[in-house]
Amino acid sequence: MNDLILVRYGELALKGKNRSEFENRLVRNIREKLKPFPGVRVTKTYGRVFVELNGQPMDDVTQALTEVFGVIDISPARRVESDINRIREAALQLVQEVHPRPRTFKVIAKRARKDFPHTSQELNHLLGSHILKNTEGLQVDVHHPELALRVEVRQEGTYLYNGSGLPGPGGLPVGSSGRVMLMLSGGIDSPVAAYLALKRGAALEAVHFHSYPFTSERARKKVEDLGQILTRYAGKIKLHVVPLTEIQTQIREQCPSSYMITIMRRFMMRITEKLARKNGALAMVTGESLGQVASQTLESMNAINDVTRMPVLRPLVGMDKQEIMEVSRKIGTYETSILPYEDCCTVFQPKNPVTRPGVERARELEARLDVEKLVTAAVEGTERVELTPDRQEEEFSSLF
Q: Which residues bind Mg ion (CB under 5 A)?
A: 185, 187
Whether 209 has a binding-site annotation, put simply, is yes
Work out the angle at residue 143's Cα, subtended by the Cα atoms of residues 140 and 144, and round it to the nearest 5 degrees. Answer: 85
CA dihedral over 333, 334, 340, 346, signed as positive or negative: positive
Q: Which residues share a beta bridge with 154?
A: 157
Q: How far is the CB of 369 from ligand ATP (least distance, A)?
A: 19
Q: Is the peptide bond before 389 cis (omega within 30 degrees of 0)?
A: no
Q: Are 351 and 257 in contact (CB under 8 A)?
A: yes
Site pattern 234..273 for ligand ATP (x: CB under 6 A): ----------------------------------------
- Nearer to ligand ATP among residue 73 and residue 343 (C-beta): 343
Q: Classify each residue of 144-181 as buried b or exposed e, where b means 16 or more C-beta atoms within 10 Å of its C-beta.
A: ebbbbbbbbbbeebbbbbbbbbeebbebbbbbbbebbb
* CB of 16 vs ligand ATP, minimal distance in Å: 36
Q: Is 17 exposed, middle or buried (0-12, 13-18, 19+ CB in 10 A)?
A: exposed
Whether residue 265 is annotated as binding a ligand: the answer is yes
Interface with ligand ATP, residue 300, by CB under 6 A: no
Residue 293 in contact with ligand ATP, rule: CB under 6 A: yes
Q: Does 208 bind ligand ATP (CB under 6 A)?
A: yes
- Strand intervals (E) in 24-124: 41-45, 48-52, 71-80, 104-111
Cβ distance to ligand ATP smaller for residue 167 or 381: 381
Query: Cβ(4)–Cβ(52) under 8 Å?
Result: yes
Residue 188 interacts with which of ligand ATP, Mg ion, none, CB < 5 to 8 Å by class? ligand ATP
CB-nearer residue toward Mg ion: 42 or 194: 194
Q: Is 287 annotated as a binding residue?
A: yes
Rounded to a whole number of angstroms, the minimum distance from the CB of residue 361 to ligand ATP is 19
Cβ proximity to Mg ion, 73 vs 189, nearer residue: 189
Residues 192 and 333 sit within 8 Å (Cβ to Cβ): yes
- Please select the residue that binds ligand ATP; options are 87, 188, 226, 319, rule is CB under 6 A: 188
Q: Rounded to 5 degrees, what are φ and ψ at 43?
A: -135, 160
List interacting residues with ligand ATP (CB under 6 A).
183-185, 187-190, 207-209, 286-288, 292-293, 295-296, 343-345
- Residue ranges of the annotated binding site for ATP are 183-184, 208-209, 265, 287, 296
